[in-house]
Amino acid sequence: MNGNELYLKAKEVMPGGVNSSTRVNKALGMPFYVSKGKGSKLWDMEGREYLDMSCAHGAGLLGNGHPAIDEALHKAIEIGYVNSFETEYHERLARIITESIPCADKIRFCSAGSEATMHLIRACRGFTGKNKIIRVEGHFHGYHELIFIGGQPPASEFPRNRERPYIESAGIPEEFANLIIPVPCNDIAALQEAVDKHGSDTALLILEPVNFNTAGIRAQQEYLEFARKITKENGIVLFFDEIQSAFKKSFGAAQSHLGVTPDVCTIGKSIGGGLPLSAFCGKAEIMDTYQPLGPVQHSGTFNAHLIPILAGLAFVQEAAKPEFYPKLRALEKQFHEGVDAIIEKHDLNMIVPHFGARYNILLGRKTPALRYEETFCHNKDVMLKILKACFDKGIYFHDYGGGPSHNGYSIQHTSEDIAKVLGVLESVLVAHRNEM
Ligand SMILES: Cc1ncc(COP(=O)(O)O)c(C=O)c1O
């Protein structure tokens, strides 16, 4: 069966033919059907080869089909992949990760990033006895009712989003928006005002310490330090969502690079080596609000399933090897020096912000965006054309509806892979130069 035939059949039995709405790739007009992945490469249903420059939304830092993960899967079979039990492997992984993340006295594991933010928000509320959430525009924290509000509204909702937070999906009751206070990134006065007005009702301030979900809007050092100070003074939990940023640049979380330690954080994506594993962690006094120690419930049949826990142990063992991050840093240097040279040579109106092995492509400006509104210059239609042209030349970047979201590479990518990507990117970007 080829991809088109499969899509027709899949649509009969799954809404839109997919299990994750954004898997319908707008650049291709259908999902990208993959028949196999190995190392830095993917193959479609017709056996065509692509270089994977997405790496599973950031979960694929080890690349496709890594031998260490294969071994973990075999070990799970030996153990009989017992489920709904604690094992020695859970304790081992918890210890390694808590030792590597500054805010993490204690940790619990789950599957998806959305699940991690959902559970941790509950603990923040249980700990503070307050309900409101201050969040930063442009940052993303999952698709659930508690937080899929006011983060990435369309330009037409501006600046109304700050008065009436935009509900990002039908089906989320209006009442949830009453608990969300969106603030612009890097605006100290706006954060001060939000805390003055809502601080006594606010449980947490949540942000991506390194943003990947909208053009890499970077919270500036001064802003992060102010966020730390004002939350501490007002009994608000400072929550870093590091689902994406953890382990991308070094062993541990981005907070180690930023010198600002939150009270709690979520981590995810790469830590499962391609299997579904996320985690939430933080100061003992907050984590100990979970039952059986405290009043906050968090339980589930599949919580911390043994298979991803074993894969997580394999991931941390790989990532702890002395050659792991130097290799990723060498790829990062090669890719970004190459991209920046292409931008300069052809005077392209774009920028590619990055942190570790992940980057964003933002069209329409040459300097980093510091607030969400500054990304409205990005032309999604042109982006879709660029992604399609790269795809036709054998390079797969994931499409987020043409938005300036994230892509990345893995430890199994080679310098030759990056050189090939740069060659394709140059020809495609130059062809669309006048549309940016
Ligand atoms: C910062 C951040 N938080 C939460 C999530 C949600 O994670 P998941 O897709 O695993 O539910 C993502 C996913 O991209 C993310 O980047």
- Closest ligand 1 atom to the C-alpha of 208? 1
Count: domains in the chain? 2
- Closest ligand 1 atom to the C-alpha of 212? 16
- Nearest CA to 191 out of 140, 248, 242, 229 is that of 229
* Confidence bin at 233 (pLDDT 50/70/90): very high
Tell me how far the alpha carbon of residue 348 lies from the centroid of ligand 1, in angstroms.
Answer: 30
Looking at the fold, whether 225 and 85 belong to one and the same domain comes out as yes
Looking at the fold, whether 20 and 136 belong to one and the same domain comes out as no
157-214: per-residue pLDDT in tens? 999 999 999 999 999 999 999 999 999 999 999 999 999 999 999 999 999 999 999 9
Looking at the fold, whether 315 and 354 belong to one and the same domain comes out as no
Looking at the fold, whether 188 and 115 belong to one and the same domain comes out as yes
Arithmetic mean of pLDDT, 93-108:
98
Q: What is the mean pLDDT of the chain?
A: 97
> 285, 319, 353 — which closes off a domain?
319
> 302, 319, 336 — which closes off a domain?
319
Minimal-distance CA residue to ligand 1 atom 16: 244
Arithmetic mean of pLDDT, 238-244:
98
Looking at the fold, whether 327 and 423 belong to one and the same domain comes out as yes
341-354 CB burial, b ≥16 within 10 A, e <16: ebbeeeebbbbbbb
65-83: per-residue pLDDT in tens? 999 999 999 999 999 999 9
Pocket of ligand 1 (CB under 6 A): 57, 112-114, 117, 140-142, 208, 212-213, 241, 243-244, 268
Looking at the fold, whether 299 and 395 belong to one and the same domain comes out as no
Looking at the fold, whether 302 and 424 belong to one and the same domain comes out as no
Looking at the fold, whether 293 and 409 belong to one and the same domain comes out as no
> What is the domain-level CATH number for residue 99?
3.40.640.10
Query: What is the model's pLDDT at position 117?
Result: 98
Query: What is the model's pLDDT at position 179?
Result: 98
Looking at the fold, whether 97 and 193 belong to one and the same domain comes out as yes
Cis omega (within 30 of 0) for bond into 159:
yes
Minimal-distance CA residue to ligand 1 atom 8: 113
Arithmetic mean of pLDDT, 332-350:
98
* Confidence bin at 93 (pLDDT 50/70/90): very high
